[in-house]
With several copies, the nearest count.
Chain A
């Protein structure tokens, strides 16, 4: 039974106001088509999470759809601090989001725990620092310190996370949602598998037979997946290994735009609200920046070797 649908329908059906949403990617494979659709549908009060957040999370925060953020990091990297993130916390624009602080070790481990049905997981970081002193909406549930029952050592435990829905962008998936990925993984595999259901955005839908030619590449099995959406160029301005490069000029454009509230609103109008889907977005990209720029992002051909699973 095919789960293939449009992003509009996938978000309508599976992302609700107040949901806890895992969103995969970090420059590599951010599901921007889904993120734009969430904003377009004006969701509100979302709790969002992933380790290492960047322009995509900044955009969601600036657009006002976020209430809470289970965080390890948010910046625009090369382009400096996240403007919307700062405005939200420093000035309450559009509103002040609540942040629960973790690290790039603890947070991925909490997602791993969620994926694996563990109630909590011991980690060795965070102790002794002010990360322990700040607690937000998770309150006393942010962490616990116990004396290890094995050797008495003080041990920090952090809780498992199980988002209502996980959204990832991958290279390819079949119509049942078996999702295959290669290259930098971030916390995608655990984040998606920790979620109660998954929306898979992909560069291309392939047959079940193609999936079966290399099953070790699959990171999410079909039975966890609620919707599959083919969204070529769906991670732009991030990149997808083997498909297209990160768009540095666009990063600069976002930096400039998000410097002011007005600029940010205009950016949203131009790139989100004014376009109905990723196809329209891509057409607008080509019209605005020229086909040469679009073509310049397309990945080179540098294919590896096929393998056999035969016996």
Chain B
């Protein structure tokens, strides 16, 4: 079976959890950092035909250094296709071709809705955030959305201050009512403590597994809604040797992922 080395950091575990969600041949829309690392692990392990694209218009880039934005210069040389926003966001995403999208946000709620617009009241904000960018359309149109979040009662919320990006919105049936494409929506929240999956009936994020070092009780206590626990809840599988090897030796040779520790993903 798989070998599981012990010398990993939490962001590495999280990246491997994301990678395992990807199926061979998936078309994945990624931002910089975590999503790229996660999708690339899949490409270098069980899903070699994974294809990555960035919203800025790049498909199948071959960066020689880690990209620090979706417009990074290193995404240009060697890519298979470079167009513009209407190519990737229009032709590929709205066209229905994107299997997986990765998103993060300042707040994430139990229905997988994401806030990247404003903390506090929209008109008199405590903090003005960047806005949607590509997040809303990715949340609306990608078949499976993987959300990265810090697990605490500030970043997770019963209800976000502002729904920038749709998860299941108000719960069952809401996406359908708004005419969002069938079989789309968030599939997983990866936090630094656990994996939360969405109940097919209630559309609420439920505890699927807790990471090594955490526990069901700790996760429930850190979640600001009445977190349901899956019947088959278990400990998250730690990074596999081959996943870590791909991550460290082929994808992120400069240890960019350690930035996430500084951001609190511990």
Contacts and interface: CB of A to CB of B under 8 A. Distances in A.
Asked if chains A and B are in direct contact (CB within 8 A), the reply is: yes
B125 interface: yes
A19 to B, nearest CB: 19
Interface stretch (A6-14, A36-44, A115-123, A254-262): A115-123
A155 to B, nearest CB: 7
A104 B128 contact: no
B76 A183 contact: yes
Contact of B130 (A74, A178, A302): A74
Nearest to A107: B85
Nearest to A71: B131
Contacts of A116: 86, 90-91, 94-95
Nearest to B62: A212
Point out which of A77, A190, A310 has the most chain B C-beta atoms below 10 A from its C-beta.
Answer: A77
B266 interface: no
Interface in B104-160: 113, 117, 122, 125-137, 140-141
Nearest to B129: A81
B56 A109 contact: no
Interface string A83-113: 0011001100000000001111110110010
Given A72-B131, A124-B180, A215-B80, A77 B69 contact: yes
A127 B90 contact: no
A104 B54 CA distance: 12
B228 interface: no
Contacts of A189: 84
Contacts of A302: 77
Interface in A160-188: 174, 176, 178, 182-188
B57 interface: yes
Given A123-B94, A129-B166, A246-B72, A215 B81 contact: yes
Contacts of B91: 115-117, 193
Contact of B132 (A102, A124, A311): A102
B83 A131 contact: no
Contacts of B198: none
Contact of B117 (A27, A101, A127, A209): A101
B228 to A, nearest CB: 23
B137 A105 contact: yes
A102 B136 CA distance: 9
A241 interface: yes
A144 interface: no
Interface string A222-251: 111000000000000001010001101000
Given A27-B69, A72-B131, A104-B133, A185 B90 contact: no
Given A73-B132, A125-B140, A218 B90 contact: no
A223 B97 contact: yes
Given A128-B175, A185-B57, A190-B86, A134 B122 contact: yes
Contact of A216 (B82, B133, B136): B82
Nearest to A52: B133
A249 to B, nearest CB: 13
A25 B62 CA distance: 21
Interface string A181-225: 011111111100100000000000000110111011010011110
A246 B68 CA distance: 11
Nearest to A73: B133
B198 to A, nearest CB: 16
* Top 5 A-B residue pairs of the complex, sorted by shortest distance between their CB atoms: A185-B84, A311-B73, A73-B133, A117-B94, A105-B137
Given A103-B133, A176-B80, A183-B76, 9 more contacts: A105-B85, A105-B134, A105-B141, A109-B86, A127-B180, A130-B122, A182-B82, A193-B91, A222-B51
Interface of A: 1, 26-28, 51-52, 71-75, 77-78, 81-82, 85-86, 89-90, 101-106, 108-109, 112, 115-118, 123-131, 134, 153-155, 174, 176, 178, 182-190, 193, 208-209, 211-213, 215-216, 218, 221-224, 239, 241, 245-246, 248, 302, 308-311
20 contacts: A52-B71, A74-B131, A104-B55, A105-B90, A116-B95, A124-B141, A127-B180, A128-B180, A129-B163, A129-B169, A153-B179, A178-B80, A187-B85, A188-B84, A212-B79, A215-B78, A221-B51, A221-B81, A223-B51, A241-B76
